[in-house]
Structure 1
Amino acid sequence: MAGDALSDLLKTVRLTGATFFDIEAQDPWAVCSPSPASILPRILPGADHLISYHVLTAGHCFARIIGKEAFPVEAGEVVVFTNSDPHIMSSTPDLRADPPTADVLEIAAASQTPFPINYVKDGSLSARLVCGYLACDALPFNPLLEALPPVIKAGDVKGDGGWLGQFIKLAVSEVAEKRAGSETVLTKLSELMFVDVLRRYVESLPPQQTGWLAGLRDPHLSKALALIHDRPAHSWTVEALAKEAALSRTVLAERFTKLVGMPPMHYLAKWRMQIASELLSAGNSNVANIAAEIGYESEAAFSRAFKKMIGVPPSAWRLGVRPAPGSGGDEASDTESEPAATAAD
């Protein structure tokens, strides 16, 4: 039975969370997030893509990417900056703020509990936020990142007792009580929160929307994507996928290319290399076993395809070498030209 393509992707690109900031503020206030380049080495070393989120647990505020228009945020809503673009959370739309210093980031990274930032002087609290970061692999292939807008705002429908409301209650409790394991609990909660935000975003997409997430919403394409994810070593053809997805070969090929942005066999080749890159980074399997696991009959065939598509050989990737921009050929047609093993069904 086919699985869940979104879950498969999030596991393979190693989505991980880290929660570090508990902000209490009194008007007027403003907090600026620094660039990902200054955050990743201190908070989530080893990751190559950063996602920021802010959950407003009390009060109201404004959020904006620097240089863009501000938008309001109310208590019970979460704002996700999918590329962690430098941004400002503030009590009014036009307040400026300096990003945290390197020292603050170092202390936050070393903290075993959410790092408190208090902007309340002698008045009453006007806003409270739980802020944190998520990281995932962007290379060699993460179609989710290309499908997301720079900012997503989400919140439960009032009175529906949805997951985001429960998340906020749990986050507030963990931050306030600072019990053993709070950091781990908040980390896992942030990952679950992000998945729920993604689901809400998919459900809100207009019918004409294209992209990988739009493909998930199409029952036929989601079946094809799930099959590719579940059985990457299988000797798939467009005909075989179309039959499983209950479409004709022509319709599957056209619809897949239109929504997902590439032909099915191109996607299969890229997904195989994403799995291979994750296995290489983990270091638990030799290259021959990895080649067999993703559908190549020989180590040599796999190594040629990996270098041609990614830009560096498997041995270099395992050592942490990443290709220079533009060095990968992205020749996904190798899926059909290289001999591939047939996985046991």
Structure 2
Amino acid sequence: MSMSPDPVNDRPADLLDALLAPLRLEGVFASRWVMRAPWGFRGGQERNAILHHVRSGECAITMPGAAEPIILRAGELALFPCGAAHEVADRPGRATSPLDLLLPGRPPGATTEVRVDGPGPSTELLCGGLHYDEAGMSPLYRALPDVLVLDRETLAGDPLLTGTLDGLTGRHGGLAALRAFELVFVLALRVALERSDEVPAALRHPAVGRALLAIQTRYAEPWTLESLAREARLSRSAFAAAFTRVVGEAPARHLAGRRMREAARLLTETGVPLGMIPERVGYGSAVGFHLAFRRHFGVPPGEYRRTGRAALSARPDR
């Protein structure tokens, strides 16, 4: 007998939404580049998610250590989920300038336009850098490829994404443009998750995906290997083997990591009393929580709260 698909838990987009929520993508820096060859710029590893959308012309993207450059043509989109270092130029092998010299600072919430005059072909490029909370980044998000490219055919299959991209054309400043870049990034990641073979297997495995969604959104519940296996609709042994194979760590370890990330957020960004945090993140014992936290972060929760808040208040985007 065939089983009809679960309308909620079998949708990869739900898991993606759960992975993105703790990152709190915000503070977009948007830029429009109008360039005539020769031109090229390079950026190092950033604490931003990045997107490049070619409006006209084409460009070459070179990743450190990659054998071949990526040629991005008009209408195509490149995503860098974790802000991987890369070069962008009118052609492969072009000498490049540091991005910090062309766009120093790149404050969140700002937009700008860069023009480069030359004798060669013209390219128009829209770029967005979305600041994220690195502490909220799960191992699964970190496992996404350094770059995901959506070609015109793939984009054409998602009218909402293409419509939002088209709407960026006349929005090079203001809140509408910044919100549109956020939406484009989330929609494009969703398309990549559903259609790209490069996405980690854990995000495409229906049974493991159900357990991952539960861990990501319901981490405070008293999960056991047995209850997670029931959530995945697998036997205990089949679930443990499948989860470890596609995620790269055991279910209990992955659950503990999610709880620790949430505890860190509560300690640095909220005034929740220290004594209430163990229960909020799924620990029945304060002693057990303190031991687990110190093992994970190397310091006790109280010290983490003090140093974390000091670091947060010193950030330039705050």
TM-score class normalised by the smaller sequence: 0.7 to 0.9
CA RMSD of aligned residues (A): 2.8
Would you say the 8 A contact 2:38–2:120 is kept in 1?
no
Amino acid aligned to 2:202: G
Give me the whole-angstrom Cα distance separating, in 2, the residues matched to 1:159 and 1:134: 24
Residue 5 (1) aligns with residue 15 (2): yes
User: 1:46: which partner in 2?
Assistant: none
Q: Which residue of 2 aligns with 1:201?
A: 192
Query: Normalised by the size of structure 2, how large is the TM-score?
Result: 0.82
Partner of 2:162 in structure 1? 165
The alpha-carbon distance between structure 1 residues 74 and 205, as it changes in their structure 2 partners (threshold 3 A), is closer
TM-score when scaled to structure 1?
0.76
Give the alignment partner of residue 264 of structure 2, picking from 273, 277, 285.
Answer: 277
Matches within 5 A, 1:78-227: 78-101=77-100, 104-106=103-105, 108-109=106-107, 113-120=110-117, 126-139=122-135, 142-157=138-153, 159-160=156-157, 162-175=159-172, 178=173, 182=174, 184-206=175-197, 213-227=200-214
Instruction: Determine the C-alpha separation between the residues in 2 that align with 1:138 and 1:11.
Output: 12
Percent identity of the aligned residues?
Answer: 29
Q: Which residue in the other structure is 1:57 paired with?
A: 55
**2:38–2:90 CA contact under 8 A, matched in 1:** yes
In the TM superposition, residue 67 of structure 1 has moved relative to its aligned partner by 5.2
Structure 2, unaligned stretches of length 5 or more? 1-7, 310-318
CA distance in 1, matches of 2:210, 2:301: 30
Decide whether aligned partners of structure 1 residues 280 and 216 sit closer, same or farther in structure 2, where only a CA change above 3 A counts: same
| SS of residue paired to 2:99 | coil
1:19 counterpart SS class: strand
CA distance in 2, matches of 1:268, 1:35: 28
1:29-68 equivalences under 5 Å are: 29-36=39-46, 49-66=47-64, 68=66
CA deviation string 1:42-82 (max 9, x = no partner): xxxxxxx3332211111111111245332211111111234
The DSSP-based 3-state class of the residue aligned with 1:247 is coil
| Residue 96 of structure 1: how far off its partner (Å) | 0.9
* Residues 95 and 267 (structure 1), Cα distance of their counterparts in 2 relative to 1, 3 Å cut: same
- Given that residues 24 and 125 in structure 1 are in contact (C-alpha distance below 8 angstroms), is that contact kept between their aligned partners in structure 2? no
Do the aligned partners of 1:5 and 1:222 also contact (CA within 8 Å) in 2? yes
SS at match of 2:97: coil
Does 1:253 find its partner at 2:249?
no
Distance in 2 (alpha carbons) for counterparts of 1:215 and 1:160: 24
- Compute the displacement of 1:164 (Å): 3.7
How many residues are treated as equivalent by the alignment?
297
